A and B are shown apart, each in its own frame.
Chain A
Amino acid sequence: QVHLAQSGAEVKKPGASMKVSCKVSDYTLSEIALHWVRQAPGKGLEWMGGFDPEEGETIYSQKFQGRVTMTEDSSTDTAYMEISSLRSEDSAVYYCATVGTGYYFDDWGQGTLVTVSS
């Protein structure tokens, strides 16, 4: 089991950028594939993107293409997800999760609440 520890809650103003971190323990980033999923208050789960082992690159949901950047720091086994040009609709809990061979999300971080408000 992979342990994922995410950064704390954030409050941001519309138009700002936001970066959430996801620290991996018990494995290294090179051994896993990490993805990001978000959940707006009272709503369902929404896949944002992540590293696709078959493609060998990070893929993004079309909805977030150009506004979201997912990066990894192998020296600290920490993954990052940055969103620019925040709007109120980006208020959500953001989760990192590992992807199993069948593209299922088997281990999850605890979630990071991001509130976008003026």
Chain B
Amino acid sequence: DIQMTQSPSSLSASVGDRVTITCQASQDITNYLNWYQQKPGKAPKLLIYDTSTLETGVPSRFSGSGSGTDFTFTISGLQPEDVATYYCQEYSTFGQGTKLEIK
């Protein structure tokens, strides 16, 4: 089974900051890497699929990059409403999650 290692597990940043989360796969997954945002008490929301494609309606401050085993999720200009937990996913495997808070 593929393992996904996501880091950091938590981070705190200021409004306007650039935030980066990484996800490493245990084997080559080409570009089949997706990112989700989950707010407390809510279902996860797909933000980015196939590494870098923004889901319809998702703000352009969210972006993704990478290939093979190493992937990056970036928020360019953190907003208060971005407080959430973020997960990477490759089909049957999710990363451990990154809890993002505002300083």
Given contacts A45-B44, A109-B43, contact A102 B49 (CB under 8 A): yes
Contact B87 A44 (CB under 8 A): yes
Residues on A with C-beta less than 8 A from B46 are 104-106
List residues 49-95 of chain B with CB under 8 A from any CB of chain A: 49-50, 55, 87, 89-95
Contact A103 B87 (CB under 8 A): no
Task: Tell me which of B32, B38, B45 contacts A102 (CB under 8 A).
Answer: B32
Q: How far is the CA of A54 from the CA of B71 in the complex (A)?
A: 25
Given contacts A44-B97, A47-B92, contact A108 B43 (CB under 8 A): yes
Interface residue tally for chain A (C-beta within 8 Å)? 19
Residues on A with C-beta less than 8 A from B87 are 44-45
Task: Tell me which of B32, B89, B90, B91 contacts A45 (CB under 8 A).
Answer: B89
Give me 17 other A-B pairs in contact (C-beta within 8 A), A103-B32, A105-B44 excluded. Answer: A37-B44, A37-B94, A44-B87, A45-B36, A45-B97, A95-B43, A102-B50, A103-B90, A103-B91, A104-B49, A104-B89, A105-B34, A105-B46, A105-B89, A108-B45, A109-B43, A111-B43
CB within 8 Å of B: which residues of A?
Answer: 37, 44-47, 61-62, 95, 97, 100, 102-106, 108-111
CB within 8 Å of A: which residues of B?
Answer: 1, 32, 34, 36, 38, 43-46, 49-50, 55, 87, 89-97
